[in-house]
Amino acid sequence: MNKFLTMSKRIGAVLIDLSGTIHVDDAVIPGSIEALKKLRATNVKIKFVTNTTKESKRKLHERLSRIGFDIHKDEIFTSLTAARQLIDKRNLRPYMLIADAAKEEFCDLPSENLNAVLVGLAPEKFNYEHLTTAFRYILEGAQLIAIHKARYYKRSDGLALGPGAFVAGLEYSTVKIQLVRTSTHNRKYRRMQGRGRGKARGNIFQECSRGLRLRAGGSCDDWR
């Protein structure tokens, strides 16, 4: 505990990855609930960051609460949040290859005159017809928004193919792409000062830090 208290005096906030770091689906990673309680006792600001795209923030929060985490909904920043901010900023109307459980984040967007393609983790949408429709929109000038480009992800039954292969296929086939990655895999943001612990890195941490009015920096290594 003394180590946590000492560290809390040196940092402005802690950004914590979710899936694969403190839980996997409905399974709690051992020790994570106890560690979070210790961290909260320091009164340091906490934000939970995730690049998961398979469910909305509301459903994610319900899952975390159900399996025993004491987390407030407004403490969660997801890649869907970042994608929605980008869509609103650019006035985009996307054709969506995302899971049905994630669509409530975008339910109020126009469904006509589409000018973007939004790709997340959506195994049920990664078929020939849906991908061909996305391909045609991009050829007509639509922006390709890859919420994340993971090669694979971890499920309760083991590793599974991520959306990266399908994004790469759209990139390869369209040639003249307009790719805007809200992904944590964007190399541009790997040069930012500081590092994150867990899978989520890069600009999703930067976007979350802006919400906390913090400058990204430092390392989480000392918390191990």
pLDDT in tens, 36-60: 998 888 888 899 998 888 889 999 9
- The predicted pLDDT at position 191 comes to 33
- Say which range, 19-33, 74-88, 113-127, 147-161, has the weakest mean pLDDT: 147-161
Same domain, 162 and 100: yes
Same domain, 88 and 177: yes
Kindly state the average pLDDT of the residues 173-180: 60
Strand-strand pairing, 27-28 and 23-24: antiparallel
Kindly state the average pLDDT of the residues 197-208: 55
The parent domain of residue 137 ranges over: 81-181
Strand-strand pairing, 76-78 and 94-97: unpaired
CA distance 143 to 161: 24
pLDDT band at 198 (very low <50, low <70, confident <90, very high): very low
Same domain, 38 and 96: no
Same domain, 26 and 58: yes
Selection from 79, 102, 55 nearest residue 206 by Cα:
79
Number of domains in the chain: 2
Selection from 202, 199, 158 nearest residue 184 by Cα:
202
Same domain, 135 and 195: no
Is pLDDT at 188 greater than 90 in this prediction? no
What 3-state class would DSSP assign to 94? strand
CATH of the domain at 59: 3.40.50.1000
Report the predicted TM-score, pTM, of the whole model to 2 decimal places. 0.69
β-sheet bridge partners, residue 154: 159
Same domain, 44 and 123: no
Same domain, 157 and 120: yes
Is pLDDT at 187 greater than 60 in this prediction? no
Same domain, 106 and 168: yes
- The predicted pLDDT at position 16 comes to 93
Same domain, 106 and 145: yes
Would residue 131 be called left, alpha or beta, if left means φ above 0 and alpha means ψ between -120 and 50 degrees? alpha
Q: What angle do CA 29, 30, 35 make, to 5 degrees?
A: 95
Same domain, 110 and 137: yes
pLDDT in tens, 123-145: 999 999 999 999 999 999 999 99
Same domain, 85 and 175: yes
